[in-house]
């Protein structure tokens, strides 16, 4: 995302403002309610998306230096991610080869050896089995064949990807699908990790994603919160293979239009929020404060329950100022979480209930909800379902 690209985006947004349009093409898409309620579909999605697709787990700084680790169960598979002695990112199934215990409790830290809490077999941070406790009593087994199962992983332009099941290497080009330039621009690897929050909601995981990718609702549902900062019903949406980028202007953009005709001088990260959907279940929200990375999962194989895992990485330029001023990361995360939980997720819990009551067979997505149209269709095609047609109007 070079300067000309940023200017082009600002220009598109200004055109939308001038002409009172959000999108000049597209139409209506009807999504059947069963996409949110079908248990078989939920099970299929869990298998395809959360076990057998490479997932963006975080930003490189989640493992800030060599010999750090991060044990994570969010995907449903216990995963041990490490940066080995050479700084290389690797991932393993966090399952002991002896009797299957998790080896490292969920969390992060710095370690080169991991001892299983059950019978104390010890593994290196390259996954190799270093020692079998009391091997003379246990018996002879070939240690070299009992390394942790390695999972396909990749570190791509400051992002960490893991496929929770063994198999082919991660296809890096497919992960980013043309967003390489954007990621190179942001230099996310330099954004320090601050914290993670987990939010459970009684609504389908796709419904949770939907709540982030249109700002049609911002001056209605968020009239007293986000609506004061973000312009409503005005966004761009550009598809990059399975992924997409959507840019949402803040209210400050109006001020810039008033102050300067020269867009060249507009401070891009201060006046827009840039959001990425990374197939299948990750969103990145980039603003002048940093980047929020959200992962969405269904839980307990249910179509009606999902978990959002939100991690926040702070803009390195802002970090010293933030700390000097005594601002707390917890507080800023809570402000974000309040809006999501008390406004968006409260709403989608009711939508989910209505979907389950079967009163209405479908939902409608308009031209100004083009990002949602893309996400629904790409997630349908991933599990071999027909693409929903866009009805031109
Ligand atoms: S299960 Fe890990 S040492 Fe026994
Ligand atoms: Fe919202």
The gap from C-alpha 91 to its chain's centroid, in whole angstroms, comes to: 18
118 in ligand 1 pocket by Cβ < 6 Å?
A: yes
**96 CA: nearest ligand 1 atom:** 2
- 76-91 pLDDT, tens digit per residue, is 999 999 999 899 999 9
Residue nearest to atom 1 of ligand 1 (CA): 99
For the purposes of burial, counting CB atoms within 10 Å of the CB of 337, is it exposed (0-12), middle (13-18) or buried (19 or more)? Answer: middle
206 CA → ligand 2 middle, Å: 14
335 in ligand 1 pocket by Cβ < 6 Å?
A: no
* Helices 39-50 and 370-382, packing angle to 10 deg: 90
Q: Are strands 55-59 and 159-162 parallel, antiparallel or unpaired?
A: antiparallel
Task: Show the CA angle centred on residue 73, arms to residues 205 and 315, nearest 5°.
Answer: 75
Q: Which ligand is nearest to the CA of 95?
A: 1
Contacts of 59 (CB under 8 A, 6+ apart): 158, 159, 160, 188, 189, 191, 193, 291, 293, 311, 313
121 in ligand 1 pocket by Cβ < 6 Å?
A: yes
Instruction: Please name the helix (run of DSSP H) or strand (run of DSSP E) that holds residue 122, with its range, or none.
Output: strand 122-124
Nearest to 39 by CA among 307, 386, 301: 301
248 in ligand 1 pocket by Cβ < 6 Å?
A: no
Write down the pLDDT at residue 24: 63
Answer yes or no: are the C-beta atoms of 294 and 212 closer than 8 Å. Answer: yes
Write down the pLDDT at residue 255: 84
Nearest to 250 by CA among 283, 281, 289, 284: 289
Domains of the chain: 3-51+174-392 (3.90.380.10), 57-170 (2.102.10.10)
Contacts of 342 (CB under 8 A, 6+ apart): none
Report how far residue 379's alpha carbon sits from residue 281's, in angstroms, rounded to the nearest whole number.
9
Choosing from 96, 114, 138 the residue with most ligand 1 atoms within 8 A of its CB, the one to mutate for a pocket test is 96
Choosing from 99, 103, 135 the residue with most ligand 1 atoms within 8 A of its CB, the one to mutate for a pocket test is 99
Q: Which two tokens stand for residue 280?
A: 């299948």
- What are the pLDDT tens digits along the chain (393 aa)? 888 888 888 888 888 887 777 766 789 999 999 999 999 999 999 999 999 999 999 999 999 999 999 999 999 999 999 999 899 999 999 999 999 999 999 999 999 999 999 999 999 999 999 999 999 999 999 999 999 999 999 999 999 999 999 999 999 999 999 999 999 999 999 999 999 999 999 999 999 999 999 999 999 999 999 989 998 888 889 999 999 999 999 988 888 888 877 888 888 888 899 999 999 999 999 999 999 999 999 998 899 999 999 999 999 999 999 888 888 899 989 999 999 999 999 999 999 999 999 989 999 999 999 999 999 999 999 999 999 999 986
346 in ligand 1 pocket by Cβ < 6 Å?
A: no
For the purposes of burial, counting CB atoms within 10 Å of the CB of 360, is it exposed (0-12), middle (13-18) or buried (19 or more)? Answer: exposed
96 in ligand 1 pocket by Cβ < 6 Å?
A: yes
Choosing from 93, 119, 143 the residue with most ligand 1 atoms within 8 A of its CB, the one to mutate for a pocket test is 119
Q: Residue 9 — φ and ψ, nearest 5°?
A: -65, -45
213 CA → ligand 2 middle, Å: 8
Report how far residue 284's alpha carbon sits from residue 345's, in angstroms, rounded to the nearest whole number.
18
Write down the pLDDT at residue 9: 87
Q: Which ligand is nearest to the CA of 210?
A: 2
Contacts of 232 (CB under 8 A, 6+ apart): 215, 216, 217, 218, 219, 220
**103 CA: nearest ligand 1 atom:** 2
Helix (H, G, I), strand (E, B) or coil at 294: strand
89 CA → ligand 1 middle, Å: 25
119 in ligand 1 pocket by Cβ < 6 Å?
A: yes
235 CA → ligand 2 middle, Å: 14
Residue nearest to atom 4 of ligand 1 (CA): 119
117 in ligand 1 pocket by Cβ < 6 Å?
A: no
131 CA → ligand 1 middle, Å: 11
120 CA → ligand 1 middle, Å: 6
Answer yes or no: are the C-beta atoms of 16 and 215 closer than 8 Å. Answer: no
3-state SS of the chain: helix, strand, coil percent to 5?
A: 35, 25, 40
Write down the pLDDT at residue 23: 67
Instruction: Please name the helix (run of DSSP H) or strand (run of DSSP E) that holds residue 378, with its range, or none.
Output: helix 370-382
């Amino acid at each position: 995302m070079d300067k000309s690209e940023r200017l082009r985006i600002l220009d598109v947004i200004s055109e939308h403002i001038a002409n009172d349009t959000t999108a000049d093409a597209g139409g209506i898409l009807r999504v059947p309610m069963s996409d949110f309620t079908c248990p078989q579909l939920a099970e299929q999605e869990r298998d395809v998306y959360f076990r057998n697709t490479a997932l963006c787990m975080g930003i490189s700084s989640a493992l800030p230096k060599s010999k750090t680790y991060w044990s994570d169960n969010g995907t449903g598979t216990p995963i041990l991610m490490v940066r080995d002695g050479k700084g290389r990112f690797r991932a393993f199934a966090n399952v002991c080869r002896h009797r299957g215990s998790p080896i490292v409790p969920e969390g992060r830290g710095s370690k080169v050896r991991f001892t299983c809490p059950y019978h104390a077999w010890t593994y290196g941070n390259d996954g190799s089995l270093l020692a079998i406790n009391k091997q003379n009593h246990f018996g002879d087994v070939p240690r070299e064949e009992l390394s942790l199962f390695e999972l396909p992983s990749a570190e791509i332009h400051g992002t960490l990807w893991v496929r929770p099941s063994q198999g082919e290497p991660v296809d890096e080009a497919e992960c980013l699908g043309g967003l390489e330039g954007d990621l190179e621009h942001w230099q996310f690897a330099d954004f320090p990790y601050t914290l993670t929050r987990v939010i459970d909601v009684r609504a389908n995981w796709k419904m949770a994603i939907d709540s982030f990718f249109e700002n049609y609702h911002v001056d209605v549902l968020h009239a007293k919160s986000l609506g004061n900062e973000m312009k409503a019903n005005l966004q761009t949406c550009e598809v990059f293979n399975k992924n997409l980028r959507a840019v949402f202007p803040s209210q400050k953009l109006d001020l810039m239009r008033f102050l300067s005709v020269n867009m060249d001088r507009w401070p891009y990260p201060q006046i827009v929020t840039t959001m990425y959907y990374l197939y299948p279940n990750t969103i990145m929200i980039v603003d002048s404060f940093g980047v929020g990375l959200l992962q969405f999962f269904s839980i307990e194989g249910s179509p009606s329950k999902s978990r959002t895992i939100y991690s926040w990485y702070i803009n390195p330029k802002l970090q010293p100022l933030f700390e000097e001023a005594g601002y707390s990361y917890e507080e800023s995360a809570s402000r974000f979480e309040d809006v999501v939980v008390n406004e968006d997720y409260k709403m989608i819990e009711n939508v989910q209930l209505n979907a389950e009551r079967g009163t209405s067979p479908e939902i409608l997505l308009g031209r100004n909800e083009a990002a949602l149209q893309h996400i629904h269709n790409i997630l349908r095609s991933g599990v071999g379902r027909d693409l929903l047609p866009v009805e031109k109007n």
